[in-house]
Amino acid sequence: MRQGAARFISVQNEYSLLKREPELEVLPECDRLALAFIPYFPLSSGVLTGKYRRGEPPPSGTRLAGVPTGRPDSPLSDQTLSVVEALEAFAARNGHSVLELAIAWLVMQPMVASVIAGATAPVQVSANAKASSWVLTAAQLDEVDEVAPAH
């Protein structure tokens, strides 16, 4: 690196329980280069909040309002919503919401420096902050990997 030149200190890619592609190359490279990783869309455009349901249109006013459901290429495909339902069941068995699971799981990833989730109301900010207090066990992380495996 040229003396006096700025050095990259972090990267930002889409990463969530539903979008785990960074685990293939980006996160190992961040580790190798000592770069922090900041995920964007940590709640998959709200899909990991529990507000979208199979067989129901997306709620009006949400990020995915008007997005077709059920199609394989939709962020609200039956396959995606099946994974979300399984994650919701896992979270509920452990006394948490799927939103709490989504954020807590990201916080547990070694290269993730911070999780920044959007919010439109103070109650959402509080819920997002509270979510990081759930420390998943190794067995819980393994179970999550079975439900939402890396690609």
Q: pLDDT digit string (tens) for 62-87?
A: 889 988 887 888 899 999 999 999 99
CA-nearest of 11, 9, 8, 20 to 109 is 20
The CA distance from 42 to 88, in Å, is 16
CA dist., res. 73 & res. 69, Å (int): 9
Question: Does the pLDDT of residue 118 top 80, yes or no?
Answer: yes
Residue of higher predicted confidence among 140 and 60: 140
Q: Three-state DSSP class for 70?
A: strand
Beta-sheet pairing, 36-40 with 10-14: parallel
Look at residues 87, 131, 142, 88 and name the one whose alpha carbon lies nearest to residue 107. 131
Domains in the chain (CATH in brackets) are 10-53+69-147 (3.20.20.100)
Please give the mean pLDDT across all residues of the chain.
92
pLDDT of residue 115 exceeding 60:
yes
| Model confidence at 7: pLDDT above 70 | yes
3-state secondary structure (DSSP) of residue 61: coil
pTM of the model: 0.90
